[in-house]
Chains A and B, each alone.
Chain A
Amino acid sequence: MPLLEVRDLCKDFGGLRAVANFHLKMEKGEIVGLIGPNGAGKTTVFNLITGLIPPTSGSIIFQGENLVGLPPYKIAARGVARTFQNIRLFKDMSVLDNVRAVLQLHNGYRFWDAALHSPRFAKKEGRILARAMELLEVMNLVSRSRDPAGSLPYGDQRRLEIARALALEPQLLLLDEPAAGMNPREVASLTELIRFIKEKFQLTVLVIEHQMGLVMNLCERIVVMDFGEIIAEGTPHEISNNPVVLEAYLGKGAVISRC
């Protein structure tokens, strides 16, 4: 059984069909890239999978269960975590609390434990703190744990967003343009980071990206969208030689010279 199976997913915004007959099958442990020109509907697909917007039609089966109609927080609780294209950290909260806020899902204490700071509260909070620090350690953010998240440099903010997503202990991680605004060295480092966490946390990763270096390097399979539809699918090699893809990106008749 595939981990995620999206079938005939459509989304209309008024008269505009933002996503049309989108389909996707992901096996556990895969890294799939989702590419396409601006406005192709990639982020809309993410928003549909995470439940932030309801689809017009179609189904999203995750671990055998249809996610359509579930509120976002329940979808997240089932193991779908994401990052955002325009970083959406909790800016005025500390780096540590950004991670801890998400770990609260697994807190296991009740209102009165929190109100009275009971022994059970202390025990569980200790565990939450330890887990959060583990994640920050993996991301090399321990030294900044007390700083407000908004004060971190750009690259650290991207990594914190990934740490926060990992706090959900997800099965499926959706990364929305994680390399946006990064220089080639940072992109190379990020590519390694994604590989590293994929192994360490046994993730399945779906990544939207414009930086072809990252996509070609990282992904085993690539899905290309344009105007809300899938126009091509295949391995990085197949995609980079597909005339339809080149047309979508560069216009009719374009050829990439190999050097």
Chain B
Amino acid sequence: MRRLILLGGLFGALYMALKLLGLAGLINDYWQRVLDQALITTIGALGLSIIYGFAGQFSLGHAAFYGIGAYTAGIIGKVWGHGSLAYFLLALLAGVLTTGLIAFLLGIPILRLRSDYLGIATLGFGVIVRVALENSNRLYPPLGGATGMTGIPQVANFDWIFWFAVGTLVLVCNLVTSSYGRAWLSIREDEMAADALGIDTTRYKILAFVLGCCLAGLAGGLYAYRYPYLHPSSFDFLKSFDFLLIVVLGGLGSISGTVVTAICWVFLLEGLRIILGQAFVDWRGIIYAVILIVTILLRPQGLFSGKEWRLLFPSLDQGNRTWGKEGKHAPFRG
């Protein structure tokens, strides 16, 4: 309960501060878009954090699920939506469920694979989705195909995106501190031992994958309703790589790290665009690579290396407090 009030207060204050900055004209439309993109990226990255950071399942196709969520939610808004709020929420839900269903169907066969092989399979899936989106107009013209999709009502504003991000963050924090999180970690650490010690590894791997992809779908849906133009190239391998970088740089198994890195990453991308100027925008690729190499050399365990902010994780403080000296159970003395 104390935690609920603390968290509510903290995020409420943050929300108010950002709103006030916006009203005072300190955040212009451009930076507001960047901020929203950062929050959307955070939601997607938290999904991959569950899949790779916690359950240890190497996925190179995260952006494909982000794209499926965006296109599913988007097409509903474009064809039937007319910008009402109910349709927006329904479309988001449809995006999440579609993504989850596809992740489930894909996960059953491919989650048997380990590390590199799983990476290749998910990479292949990413390519399939991109090609499918590029040719989607043959199937259903409003999807736009290679020319991209426009005409989705722009219903998602900062308020919606902010609170969806907070909700996602709390949900993910709660899950990873529960028996679900421990089961995921045990699979990442040693799948065979987990299996032999009674953890249904298949079930927990599929759960992690579906849940993580659902969050990517949610992020995609929000993206579709925030930015007026969807294009298959926004959801290709490079975007998957972005998510992967965020999770790895933040530190595998660290929620705080994922959030901080996701936000910094998006602002860095936009910041570099300004610093480098229009002529050198493509040089950003070099700078990312340098950042990645330097970080991996200096901090291979990632920025947060599995550590967390205590506020988000009350259960970390339990453990030793009530235990120790009483000796209710005679310890073994050999």
Contact = CB atoms under 8 A, between A and B. Distances in A.
Contact of B189 (A92, A103, A107, A140): A92
Interface residues of B, number: 38
Given A88-B192, A90-B193, A93-B189, A104 B199 contact: yes
A189 B193 contact: no
Interface string A112-147: 011111000100010011000110011110110110
A114 B328 contact: no
Contacts of A168: 197-198
24 contacts: A52-B196, A73-B196, A76-B196, A88-B192, A90-B185, A92-B253, A93-B182, A93-B186, A97-B182, A101-B182, A101-B197, A102-B186, A129-B319, A134-B328, A137-B328, A137-B331, A138-B329, A139-B332, A140-B332, A142-B320, A145-B319, A189-B334, A190-B334, A197-B332
Nearest to B195: A72
Given A88-B193, A102-B197, A138-B332, 11 more contacts: A51-B196, A71-B195, A72-B195, A73-B199, A101-B194, A103-B179, A129-B319, A134-B328, A168-B198, A188-B334, A189-B334
Given A76-B196, A142-B323, A192-B334, A100 B182 contact: yes
Interface of B: 171, 174-175, 178-180, 182-183, 185-186, 189-190, 192-201, 253, 306, 315, 318-320, 323-324, 327-334
A100 B253 CA distance: 17
Interface string A68-88: 000111001100011010001
A105 interface: yes
B198 A77 contact: yes
Given A72-B195, A73-B201, A82-B196, A138 B331 contact: yes
B195 A52 contact: yes
A255 interface: no
A107 B330 CA distance: 25
A31 interface: no
Contacts of A121: 178
Contacts of A103: 179
A76 B196 CA distance: 6
B289 to A, nearest CB: 27
Contacts of A50: 196
Interface of A: 50-52, 71-73, 76-77, 81-82, 84, 88-94, 96-97, 100-105, 107, 109, 111, 113-117, 121, 125, 128-129, 133-134, 137-140, 142-143, 145-146, 164-165, 167-168, 188-190, 192-193, 196-197
A109 B177 CA distance: 13
Nearest to A168: B198
A193 B319 CA distance: 25
Contact of B327 (A137, A164, A190, A197): A137
The 5 closest A-B pairs by CB, nearest first: A104-B179, A76-B198, A114-B178, A189-B334, A90-B189
Given A101-B183, A134-B329, A189-B334, A125 B320 contact: no
A129 B318 contact: yes
A114 B192 contact: no
B332 A193 contact: yes
Contacts of B196: 50-52, 72-73, 76, 82, 84
Given A90-B193, A93-B185, A137-B331, A114 B179 contact: yes
Given A115-B174, A134-B329, A90 B186 contact: yes
Which among B193, B198, B201, B331 has the greatest number of chain A C-beta atoms within 10 A?
B198
Given A91-B189, A93-B185, A140-B332, A76 B323 contact: no
Nearest to A150: B189
Nearest to A149: B189
A140 B331 CA distance: 6
